[in-house]
Structure 1
Amino acid sequence: MKLAVIATFLAAALAMPSANDPTPVVERDEINIEARGELNERGNIVRRVEGVHLVNCPTYSLVVYCPNDGNCGTYPTGGNIVAYSYLAAWEGATYGATFTSGVTFSWNIYSNAQSYANYRNVGWGDNGYTSFVCRKDDKHTIFYNSAGGACKSIYYCLPGTWSSALLKREPQSTATPVVPPPATVSP
C-alpha cells in the first residue's frame, strides 16, 4: 500500500510543470490555433490552414487571403487580395473587404489592439463560411511590393472561435453593407 501511494505521488509530481518549464500557458479563452500546424526542418510551426492577413505597405494597405497560410510569403495574385489606395486603420469597428470571388471577409479588431503583446487574440473575423480568430502580428515583412517596398503583416486571422464574452456577437447578415477600413490619421 505504501509503495502504491509513493508511486502515485511521484507520478503526479513528474507530470506537474516546473517553474523553469518553457512551455507557454494557454489561457482558457484562447485557442491554440498553431497546434493545427506541424514543425518544419528548423523546428518552426508551419500552419496548414487558410488565413487572412491585414497588411500595410509603405503607402497603401491590403487584405490578403492565403489558401495555405504557411505559404503566405509572396505578393498575392489573382483574387486573393483587396487593395486600398491608402494606409488603413484596421481597429475599432467592424470592417469588411469583398474579394473578386464575391466572398466578403469581415473583421473587428480591438481599438487598443496595438497595446497587446504580439500573437495575442485581439479580435474576430468571418467570411460567411468560417469563423476566424484574429491576432496581433509582429509586423514582419510578409512580402515586398513591385517597387521593392516592404509590406508588413499587422494582424492575421486563422480559422477558429474564441469563447470570450467580449467577442460574442450575432451572426452577420448577408445584407450587412461592407464598410472599408478608414485611412489612418497622420500626426
Structure 2
Amino acid sequence: MFFSKALVLAVAGTALAAPSGGIEASRLEKRGPETIHFADCVTYLAIDYYADDDNSNSFPGNSNECVTNSFREGSSGSCSYSTGVKLSYNLISGAKSKSANTYVGSANNSFKTFTCKRGSDRVLYVDGNGHACKDTYYCRP
C-alpha cells in the first residue's frame, strides 16, 4: 500500500514538473533586436534594415538596403527603400569621430523612432564585388 502511494506521488510530481504542452522549442528561440545599420562599403554607402540583428553578418537583400551618397552629419537626411519605406535621420555634427556605442542621433521610418549610436566599424558583410561593408552607425527602437 505504501509503495503504491509513493509511486502515485512520484508520477504526479513528474507530471507537474513537465513543461506545458504545445510550446515548441523553435517558438522559444531568442531573436536579435530590430536594427538599422549605416554601412560604409568602400565605394558606396548603404543604410541596411534588419528585422533581426543576429542576421547582420550577411547582405540584408535589395528591398532592405538603401544606397545613399552620404551620411549627413550635423543635419537631417533621408533614404527611400524599394519597398517605398522612407527612413529619415538626423546625425549630430562629428558623429563619425565619436567612440563606439555613443549616442549620435535619431531616425524614423514612419513606423518607429530609433536611437542611433556610433558603430564599431566591424565588418557586417562582404558585398558581391568583394567590398567589406562596415558598421558606421546603428539605430534601434
Larger radius of gyration: 2
Equivalence for 2:48: 64
* SS of residue paired to 1:73: coil
User: Is contact 1:54–1:90 with CA below 8 Å preserved after alignment?
Assistant: no
Q: Report the equivalent of 2:140.
A: 158
Helix, strand or coil for the counterpart of 1:128? coil
Q: Which runs of 5+ in 1 are unaligned?
A: 1-45, 160-187
Pairs within 5 Å for 1:71-150: 71-84=55-68, 86=69, 88-150=70-132
Task: Out of 109-118 and 130-139, give the one that drifted further.
Answer: 109-118
Q: Secondary structure at the match of 1:70?
A: helix
C-alpha contact 1:92 1:111 (8 A) present in aligned 2: yes
Tell me the amino acid that sits aligned with residue 119 of structure 1: N
Give the C-alpha shift of residue 128 in structure 1.
0.8
- Higher helix residue share: 2
- Structure 2 residue corresponding to 1:51, chosen from 16, 26, 35: 35
What amino acid is the match of 2:46?
L
SS of match in other structure, 1:79: helix
Q: Per-residue CA shift, 1:115-164, capped at 9, x if unaligned?
A: 321101110011111110000001111100112111111000000xxxxx
Q: For residues 52-111 of structure 1, what are the alpha-carbon distances to aligned partners after superposition, in whole Å with 9 as ceiling and x for unaligned?
A: 111111111111010111211111213101113x5x243121111111221111111111
Runs of 4+ in 1 over 4 A off after TM superposition: none
Could you say what secondary structure the match of 2:96 adopts? helix
Give the fraction of aligned pairs with identical amino acids, expressed as a percent. Answer: 29
C-alpha contact 2:87 2:108 (8 A) present in aligned 1 = yes
For the aligned residues, what is the CA RMSD? 1.6
